[in-house]
Chain A
Amino acid sequence: AQSVSQHNHHVILSEAASLELGCNYSYGGTVNLFWYVQYPGQHLQLLLKYFSGDPLVKGIKGFEAEFIKSKFSFNLRKPSVQWSDTAEYFCAFSDSSYKLIFGSGTRLLVRP
């Protein structure tokens, strides 16, 4: 069955630390990949997405993600986090249909 795994459920970092959140999916065909963010009390926002082309995708607020097909991974990175990055982050993928599957989320806490 198709699925998305986010192995880190909770991450705590200090400001200026580097961030990498893991995301792996299970599907053998062509995929579209997404990272969404949900700030406390707010709704889901799209951070970045990958459909084709350059596997290194840049999104909003200094985030980027790299699609590594051989590893079925789409990890999210940010070189230097800020307190305002405290949020829950969701990885998601869709296959050739409209079905969009989300991971269970990673809660990031950035300490000032």
Chain B
Amino acid sequence: DGGITQSPKYLFRKEGQNVTLSCEQNLNHDAMYWYRQDPGQGLRLIYYSQIVNDFQKGDIAEGYSVSREKKESFPLTVTSAQKNPTAFYLCASSTPQGTGNTIYFGEGSWLTVV
């Protein structure tokens, strides 16, 4: 079945360590996104990518990095520079703008800094 796979589902990190969250999609979507969801703040856009080898900062990109070397993959690295990394992270992908820009979400990854 087509979909978005995020891993790991739960991750614990020590302060000062970088951690990478994986996101893979087999929907053949051009665009991919990373959001962070915190209670009372909704979904905030970290990074998005419209095409392979290109990505744009969202509203809260500081302390995060991404890459888009393959169409189906968009990993997110939470660096030690991110001051408050404990959160629920959602990856998403979407169809091209002309066909409706419907976005599909992965199941999310819980990151806890201990």
Listed in ascending order, the chain B residues whose CB lies under 8 Å from chain A are 30-31, 33, 35, 40-45, 48, 50, 56, 58-59, 90, 92, 94, 97, 100-103, 105, 107-108
Contacts and interface: CB of A to CB of B under 8 A. Distances in A.
Contacts of B50: 97-98
Contacts of A102: 35, 42-45
A9 B105 contact: no
Interface in A54-112: 90, 92, 94, 96-105
Chain B interface main SS type: strand
Contacts, number: 59
A90 B31 contact: no
B45 A90 contact: no
Interface of A: 6, 9, 32, 34, 43-44, 46, 49, 51, 90, 92, 94, 96-105
A98 B42 contact: no
B44 A98 contact: no
Contacts of A49: 100, 102
A3 to B, nearest CB: 9
Given A51-B101, A90-B43, A100-B45, 17 more contacts: A34-B103, A43-B105, A43-B108, A44-B43, A44-B90, A46-B102, A92-B43, A94-B101, A97-B50, A98-B31, A99-B45, A99-B48, A99-B58, A100-B33, A100-B94, A104-B42, A105-B41
A98 B31 CA distance: 7
Given A97-B50, A98-B48, A99-B48, A105 B42 contact: yes
12 contacts: A32-B97, A43-B107, A94-B101, A98-B33, A98-B94, A98-B101, A100-B45, A100-B48, A100-B92, A100-B101, A104-B40, A104-B42
A99 B56 contact: yes
Contacts of B42: 6, 90, 102-105
